[in-house]
Amino acid sequence: MSSSKKAKSALISVFHKDGLESIVKKLNALGIKIYSTGGTEKFIKDLEINVIPVEDLTSYPSILGGRVKTLHPKVFGGILSRRENEEDIKQLQQYEIPEMDIVIVDLYPFEKTVASDATEQEIIEKIDIGGISLIRAAAKNFKDVICVSSMNQYDEFLKILNENNGATNLIQRKNFAAKAFNVSSHYDTSIFNYFNADHNIASLKISETNGKILRYGENPHQKGFFFGDFDAIFDKLHGKELSYNNLLDVDAAVNLINEFKSDIPTFAILKHNNACGIAQRDTISQAYIDALAGDPQSAFGGVLIANTKIDVATATEIHKLFCEVVIAPSYENEALSILKGKKNRIILIQKDIIFPETTVRSCLNGVLVQDRDLKTDTKEILSQATELNPSKNEIEDLLFASKICKHTKSNTIVLVKNKQLCASGTGQTSRVDALNQAITKAQYFNFDLKGAVMASDAFFPFPDSVEIAGNVGITAVIQPGGSIKDQLSIDYCNEHNMSMVFTGIRHFKH
C-alpha cells in the first residue's frame, strides 16, 4: 500500500472561519467534493463554491438547536472505513456512504467562554460533541484520513495541499493525528477542570499546549522545557532567550513583588529564588540603590524587579550592574534605550494577571498539589505577645520583613531596618543557623542592626534566637507563634525591652 493518498472528499465543520477561505478555494480547484453543515456550510456557499449539506447525506436535519448535526453512521462510516478492508468497502457501498478523506474541524471555544462572564448554560453549550467526535474518528483512521483539528493548523495544511495537489503521505497524516489527539485531550481536560473546580474529585489533569524547548535544564547536561503561556504574563522587549534558571528566578521575583503591588516604589533583586536586596523608598531609583546595598556581590547576574515604572535615573544605575533580567510594569523610553545597551540583558514588562490558586511540583513518582499561599500578614492580624508594643515604624518594618520572609527558602530569618533588607538567612537546617547567617551577612555589608527588626517564617522552639537577636540590637520580632515554649521567648523579650508580635500564620517555603 502506497502511503500517498489523493483526497477526493472533505468534511468541514469549524467554529472559526478565519483562514478557511484559502483552503476551501484550493479544495474546490482540486475537484475535491466538500461536505459541510450549519455556519460553515453558509460560509462556503457565500464564496460561491459548491458544498453538499450533511443533511442531504444523512437525510436528517440539524436537531436540538444544533446539538446534533454530524453524529450519524453516514458521516462516521465514511471517516472510519478502512480503505483496504473489503468488508468495510462492501458496507459503504451497501449503505451508500461516501468516503471522507479530509476532516477539518475547529472546536467551540470552551476555555474562552469559561474565562468570560458567560453563564453556566452558555458554558455548557460550548462543550463540543460532534466536533470532538469527528476529530477522534479522523485521527484514529490516520492511515486513510487527514484530520485538521484546529484553525492553528490551517496554514500548514494549505501548504501541503499546494505542494502535493491534494495528496498526503502517511507521515503527514500521522503527524496531524498526533496534533488532533493533543487538541482533543486538552479540550477534555479543560472541561473536567471546569466541573471539578472545587477539587472534590482527587484527580489531577494538567494540559499545556504552549511548549518551548529551553537551551538546557538546571544544568547543561539536562534537557529543559517550559510549558505555559509566557506571553500572557510578560512582553519581552529585549535580550536573549530565558533559561530554565532565569524562569525560576523570574517566577520568584514576580511572586515577591506582587506583595508590594500597590505600595510606594519598591525594588527587589533576586538570586537563586531568594531576595538578596529589597527596599522601599519615595523614588524607584533610591529604592534600587538601597536594594543593591543589601548585597552588591550577590546582585551580580541577578534578576531585578520593580513595582513601578523604571525611569532614566534608575536605568542609569542598573546599567552599571551585570544582571540577567530586568522586570517592571513599564519603562520610560530613554530608560529603555539605556537598558538595551547590553545585548543579552532580558527586559520584560510584567502584565497585570492573576496566577492560578494552586501550585504543582514533582515528588517521588508523582506530584504534590497545594493551595497557593495567598495570605499576606497585615497589621489587623497581629497579636501583641510582649509587654512592649512595637512602634509605628517598627510595625511597618515587621510587615515588610514578613512579606520577604514568606518568599524566602526555609528555614529563614529576615532582618529589616527602615524598609530595607539588611540580610536574610536562607534555606538553613536550623533557625539559629539562619539567624547567624543573616547577622554575619548584615555586618559584612556594614549594616547597623540597632533598631532593626526580625521576621521568622515559623515559630521559635527555644528562646536562643531572640537572645542572639537582642544581643546585636534588634528591637522587634514578628513570628507565627504556636510553640509550646513560646513563653520562654516572650519572657526574654520582656526582660530585655524587646517587642514581639504573633501572626498565627506560618510561611514555610521548601
- The residues annotated with a catalytic role in the active site are 140, 272
Return all residues near 201 (Cβ < 8 A) that are at least 6 apart: none
458 near 431, Cβ under 8 Å? Answer: yes
* Residue 35 to residue 100: CA distance in whole angstroms: 9
Alpha-carbon torsion angle 482, 483, 489, 493, nearest 10: 0
Here the cell at position 72 is: 450519524
Q: Helices in 120-218 by DSSP H: which ranges?
A: 120-125, 130-140, 154-164, 170-195
Here the cell at position 433 is: 543557623
Here the cell at position 323 is: 544582571
> Which residue in the block uniquely carries the three cell numbers 477561505?
21
* Residue 52 to residue 44: CA distance in whole angstroms: 10
Q: How far is CA 245 from CA 44, 97, 233, 258, 407, in A?
A: 49, 56, 17, 20, 17
* Residue 183 to residue 189: CA distance in whole angstroms: 10
251-260 in b/e burial notation, b at 16+ Cβ within 10 A? ebbbbbbbbb
Helix crossing, 486-495 with 464-471: angle to 10°? 20
